[in-house]
Amino acid sequence: DGGITQSPKYLFRKEGQNVTLSCEQNLNHDAMYWYRQDPGQGLRLIYYSQIVNDFQKGDIAEGYSVSREKKESFPLTVTSAQKNPTAFYLCASLDGESEAFFGQGTRLTVV
Amino acid sequence: EDQVTQSPEALRLQEGESSSLNCSYTVSGLRGLFWYRQDPGKGPEFLFTLYSAGEEKEKERLKATLTKKESFLHITAPKPEDSATYLCAVTSGGSNYKLTFGKGTLLTVNP
């Protein structure tokens, strides 16, 4: 079945650590996205990528980094510079302007 | 910069009581307007994409419509299982595939 897979589902980070969230899609979609969602809030865009080896900052990119070495993969690293990383992280992919699908999310908690 | 505003923030309905959710947008050349449903702790589920004013799409009890300034999600005879947060998003010609979301409408349908 085609879809988007995010892993892990739950992730715990210690203060000062970098952590990487995985996002893989087998939909052959060109564009991929990372969003952050806080309780009771909408989706805020962190980074997005239209094609391999190219990506753009979203509205809240500070403290995050991404790479797009393969069309299928768009990992997100939450760096120690992100002071309030506890949130629900969602990855999405878009096929032109027709369909955009999300993964099931990664819940990151700082311990 | 693209802007999306959804109203109301929250809506309570009795089972069978039809209503509409609003999504108003400001973009530079709309490419696509997307509607999603999100259940707590899960990734958003894709519902519809609309492209041009006058377009309508239906799925079960949901019908989405589009004008040049806003979109409506009409819910006919809702059931408790329709309770969720409904999200609206846009891409535009001026945004290079950037997918911008509104903050959502939390719909509660009481039996």
The verdict on A100 touching B (C-beta cutoff 8 Å) is yes
Closest by CA to A49, choosing from A74, A24, A26, is A74
Q: Which residue has the tokens 């009795």?
A: B14
pLDDT digits (tens, 9 = 90+) for A15-61: 889 999 999 999 999 999 999 999 878 899 999 999 999 999 999 99
Instruction: Give me the residue from A50, A101, A105 closest to B42, CB to CB.
Output: A105
The verdict on A61 touching B (C-beta cutoff 8 Å) is no
A4 → chain B, closest CA residue? B43
A44 → chain B, closest CA residue? B101
| Least confident segment among A97-111, B22-36, B39-53, B55-69 | A97-111
CA dist A17 to A68, A83, A84, Å?
A: 22, 11, 12
Q: Coil, helix or strand for B37?
A: strand
Instruction: Give me the residue from A45, A48, A90 closest to B43, CB to CB.
Output: A90
Tokens of A95: 């096929």
Partners of residue A22 on adjacent β-strands: A7
Tokens of A76: 């997100």
Mean pLDDT of A68-91: 95
Q: Coil, helix or strand for B81?
A: helix
CA gyration radius for chain A? 13
Read off the pLDDT band of B10 (50, 70, 90): very high
Q: Which residue has the tokens 């997918």?
A: B99
| Averaged pLDDT score across all residues of chain B | 94
Question: CB distance B46–A56 less than 8 Å?
Answer: no
Read off the pLDDT band of A6 (50, 70, 90): very high
**CB B32 within 8 Å of CB B50:** yes
Give the distance between the most distant pair of CA atoms in chain B.
44
d(CA B103, CA B100): 10
Q: Cβ contacts (< 8 Å) between B44 and chain A: which residues?
A: 43, 90, 92, 102
A93 → chain B, closest CA residue? B99
User: CB count, 10 Å around CB of B58?
Assistant: 12
Question: CB distance B43–A35 less than 8 Å?
Answer: no
| Averaged pLDDT score across all residues of chain A | 92
Which residues lie below 8 Å from residue B1, measured CB to CB, with a gap of 6+?
none
Read off the pLDDT band of B96 (50, 70, 90): low
